[in-house]
Amino acid sequence: MRILMIQPNYHAGGAEIAGNWPPGWVAYIGGAIKSAGMENVRFIDAMCEDIPDDRLREVIRQSQPDVVMATAITPMIYKAQSTLQLAKEAVPGCVTVLGGIHPTFMYGQVLQEAPWIDYIVRGEGEEIAVSLLRAIENGTDRKERKRIWGIAYTDDDGQVVATPARPVIQDLDTLTPDWSLLHWDNYIYVPLNCRVAVPNFARGCPFTCRFCSQWKFWRTYRHRDPKKFVDEVEMLVRDYNVGFMILADEEPTIMKGKFVHLCEELVARDLPLHWGINTRVTDILRDRDLLPLSRKAGMVHVSLGTEAAAQLNLDVFRKQTTVEQNKLAVKLLRDAGIVAEVQFIMGLENETAETIEETYRMALDWKPDMVNWNMYTPWPFAELFEELGDKVEVRDYSKYNFVTPIMKPEGMTREQVLKGVLRNYARFYMRKSFLEYPWIRDKFKRRYMLGCLKAFAKTTVTKKFYDLERLKYKGGLTTEVDLGFDESKILSPEQIAQLKRDRPDLSADVDFKGTPIKVMACGGSDEQLEEDLPGGGAGAASAPGAAGTEAAGSRSPIPAESN
């Protein structure tokens, strides 16, 4: 069976500033598939190689795949849907499979919008993909699909079916990623001009930030054995010449002992590798005495979820930190020789010109090495989205990309928010360019920061940074902004209320409840719910339901969707 994996050709002007990121789902899902004996797997990175639709269609036609798989975070969903439509056009008999965080929760809407998608993989995909592909290979998928946990599809009656959630993979050391599927020359980290990898040390997050969804998607927090993880990292350095690594984890420092063990193992191996993480302010404060060890282990960049200028917004997000703690965390990192990057979330309903300016003043006061001003993005499966209700008028998910204002503040326009944020970027990095980066005494850090500056400059000139192409200069100080929303996806409060009332099936399934499935008694033919799982079978049908209701969800490196 020929399996073709495709990264959809979606671009937004955010995560790609520092380089092209290797899609980890390909290595992890592809590795699981190959380990299960289905070895004819090929990958096309249409995003990194910027492959246009007509060419991609022809590549698919020439490949003649039996199965085409794609992934989608929220802003990528329309492109992922159209990519699988291309596959059906090129090879009408192929089976199309979509995974990722957005279709996991929004499968009802996705299957309605894209009926050419045969299956959606919901949640952690390795084991689900193997079960599904085995059935497809045997030609029994249509008969057995109600017994395959963790998928969604449209049945013969046109009804959307979502089977019970599959239990999460408890032992992450059983994963078998195949990094050879990636075309490594494509994945360069611009600041250091070296290959970059994004492996998983852990999955999940025990915290419940209301704008995020990682804790929902992964459901429980699990981590790998530090030694075995470093074995994999060493292989990436040795076999693929990786020089920079970003841990894909939401917060790799949660388990202090495991993170210390990880750092000690990296120190012992003395690999030619630098790396960065995303983490919480509170962990930096807790582990301040361990920062020298982290730096010795190669950790050179930390992105902090400081998130908001005002304590009010920190409380709204349930961040559990204070403004003063954020400032201290930045100082501790800089004192340890580690690049400190802070994140501000902009564009909430209470945003004003003054609050935008306040974030700039805080940036000057805290003295971080880098700052990102990210637009608040109300993931349609996050807790805060439901509370905002009809205030989320824009349902054009292609713009849910961290660089487009989705919410309309009460006291200013979206366009004014965007201009204010871009002004902050220009002032902050202009100061850094002339007054700080060239004069950093630490030679490595100076090279690193000038490399980051080069990445910003390059994408600014090409107008890829923050999607600058949508700004049209009309002479003098006049600038027009076209946010590029699909007008048919901007809804009035009345339309939102009607949609919620009439089509609840299109809402997010945030608890992995699935859809009701009739369960027959013993001998009940293909309606019987059962599957050969460890400790599973029909009698274990309650396990996925329990796992699906646990407080526990996607994102990007320096970039990578707190989707």
Condensed to tens digits (0 to 9), the pLDDT of residues 368-426 reads 999 999 998 888 988 888 888 888 999 999 999 999 999 999 999 999 999 999 999 99
HEC states along 93-126? CCEEEEECHHHHHCHHHHHHHCCCCCEEECCCCH
As a whole number of angstroms, the distance between CA 433 and CA 438 comes to 7
Q: What is 436-480 written as a DSSP string?
A: IGGG-SSHHHHHHHHHHHHHHHHHHHTT-GGGGGGEEE-STT-EE
Give the pLDDT of residue 168: 92
pLDDT along the chain (563 residues), means of 10: 98 83 96 98 97 98 98 96 98 98 95 97 96 98 96 96 94 96 97 96 81 76 94 98 93 92 98 96 95 98 75 50 87 98 91 94 96 92 83 94 93 94 96 97 97 92 87 71 94 92 88 62 36 36 28 34 44
Q: What are phi and psi of 454, to 5 degrees?
A: -60, -40
Is there a contact between 36 and 176 (Cβ–Cβ < 8 Å)?
Answer: no
Q: Which residues pair with 382 in a beta bridge?
A: none
Give the pLDDT of residue 511: 80
As a whole number of angstroms, the distance between CA 287 and CA 284 comes to 5
User: Token digits for 278?
Assistant: 């995303």
As a whole number of angstroms, the distance between CA 143 and CA 146 comes to 8
Give the pLDDT of residue 428: 97
As a whole number of angstroms, the distance between CA 153 and CA 107 comes to 8
Is there a contact between 306 and 321 (Cβ–Cβ < 8 Å)?
Answer: yes
57-71 core/surface letters (b: 16 or more CB in 10 A; e: else): bebbeebebbbbbbb
Give the pLDDT of residue 544: 28
Give the pLDDT of residue 218: 77
Strand, helix or coil for residue 423? helix
As a whole number of angstroms, the distance between CA 138 and CA 47 comes to 32
Is there a contact between 386 and 216 (Cβ–Cβ < 8 Å)?
Answer: no
Give the pLDDT of residue 476: 58
Query: CA angle 351-356-362, nearest 5°?
Result: 130
The structure's pTM equals: 0.88
Is there a contact between 342 and 377 (Cβ–Cβ < 8 Å)?
Answer: no
Contacts of 7 (CB under 8 A, 6+ apart): 23, 26, 43, 44, 45, 46, 47, 48, 70, 71
